């Protein structure tokens, strides 16, 4: 697709991977909207990136509906949804609280479904569109303390395959991007320490991957793309 002049909605776009994706696609000439829950951080990002801010929580259905109202009012139509908003809790199974587990799935799984559902309605009516789900290499494996996060990303991967099977007949491309470890504020927000190292992936690497898959001519698409650091060091 041609990104210049395309309209894009990025969830969780005020920091980390989402902000980098928004920046990369905006630099390529797209009109971009970002969502976020923290209004101060959202407005700072929107001002810096020169994109449209929408304060919203993807796990809140009313917020999701309002997001599309605001974006379509501003842009007239939508070409790309980037489902990036994410939450993490990393604890042993025996210490996992129900509320923590539910909160991770509410954002990473249910929120992604709600956003994709409304995008799909719009895309089906236009007979074209793109949904990019930001997954994780966690979707392919398990790990200690990963009950909530890993299972949510596995669910996202499964939903991606379901949506792809349903929506291809409408010329809608559904992508899954699986980053391995990326140095962002996500680790601190999720309660675990992350060692920084210049050999590890940065958010802009994932922004590049999203741009690359979208730019293929609409006759084809990369169904799933995994991004690893070449030789990461702790």
- Percent of the chain clearing pLDDT 90 (strictly above): 95
Q: Residue 176: give the domain boundaries.
A: 7-227
Q: How confident is the model at residue 194 (pLDDT cuts 50, 70, 90)?
A: confident
Check residue 187 and give its pLDDT. 85
How much is the pTM?
0.96
Check residue 191 and give its pLDDT. 82
Please give the average per-residue pLDDT across 95-107, as a whole number. Answer: 98
Whether 232 is in a domain gets the answer no
- 29-46 pLDDT, tens digit per residue, is 999 999 999 999 999 999
Per-residue pLDDT at 11 exceeds 90: yes
Residue 52 vs residue 194, higher pLDDT: 52
Check residue 190 and give its pLDDT. 86
Whether 107 is in a domain gets the answer yes
Check residue 56 and give its pLDDT. 98
Whether 234 is in a domain gets the answer no
Residue 178 vs residue 234, higher pLDDT: 178
Whether 126 is in a domain gets the answer yes
Residue 172 vs residue 187, higher pLDDT: 172
- 112-157 pLDDT, tens digit per residue, is 999 999 999 999 999 999 999 999 999 999 999 999 999 999 999 9
- 173-191 pLDDT, tens digit per residue, is 999 999 999 999 988 888 8
Check residue 220 and give its pLDDT. 98
Three-state SS string over the chain comes to CCCCCCEEEECCCCCHHHHHHHHHHHHCCCEEEEEECCHHHHHHHHHHHCCEEEECCCCCHHHHHHHHHHHHHHHCCCCEEEECCCCCCCCCHHHCCHHHHHHHHHHHHHHHHHHHHHHHHHHHHHCCEEEEEECCHHHHCCCCCCHHHHHHHHHHHHHHHHHHHHHHHHCEEEEEEEECCEECCHHHHHCCCCCCCCCCEEHHHHHHHHHHHHHCCCCCCCCEEEECCCCCCC
Check residue 122 and give its pLDDT. 98
Whether 53 is in a domain gets the answer yes
Q: What are the tokens at 139?
A: 């979707």
CATH number at residue 107: 3.40.50.720
Check residue 192 and give its pLDDT. 81
Q: Which of 68, 149, 150, 170 is catalytic?
A: 149
For the question of residue 68 being annotated catalytic, the response is no
Check residue 152 and give its pLDDT. 98
Whether 233 is in a domain gets the answer no
- Domain tally, the chain: 1
């Amino acid at each position: 697709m041609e990104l210049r002049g395309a309209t894009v909605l990025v969830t969780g776009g005020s920091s980390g991977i989402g902000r980098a994706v928004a920046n990369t696609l905006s630099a390529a000439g797209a009109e971009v909207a970002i969502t976020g829950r923290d209004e101060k951080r959202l407005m700072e990002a929107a001002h810096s990136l020169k994109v449209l801010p929408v304060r919203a929580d993807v796990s809140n259905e009313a917020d999701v509906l309002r997001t599309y109202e605001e974006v379509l009012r501003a842009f007239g139509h939508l070409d790309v949804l980037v489902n990036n908003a994410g939450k993490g809790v990393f604890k042993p199974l025996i210490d996992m609280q129900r509320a923590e587990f539910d909160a991770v799935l509410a954002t990473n799984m249910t929120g992604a479904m709600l956003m994709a559902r409304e995008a799909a309605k719009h895309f089906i009516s236009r007979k074209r569109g793109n949904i990019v789900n930001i997954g994780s290499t966690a979707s392919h494996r398990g790990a200690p303390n990963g009950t909530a996060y890993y299972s949510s990303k596995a669910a996202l991967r499964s939903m991606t395959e379901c949506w792809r099977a349903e929506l291809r007949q409408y010329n809608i491309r559904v992508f899954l991007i699986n980053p391995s470890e990326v140095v962002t504020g996500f680790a601190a927000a999720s309660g675990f320490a992350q060692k920084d190292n210049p050999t590890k992936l940065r958010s802009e690497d994932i922004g590049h991957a999203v741009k690359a898959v979208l730019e293929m001519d609409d006759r084809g698409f990369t169904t799933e793309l995994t991004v690893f650091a070449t030789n990461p060091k702790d």
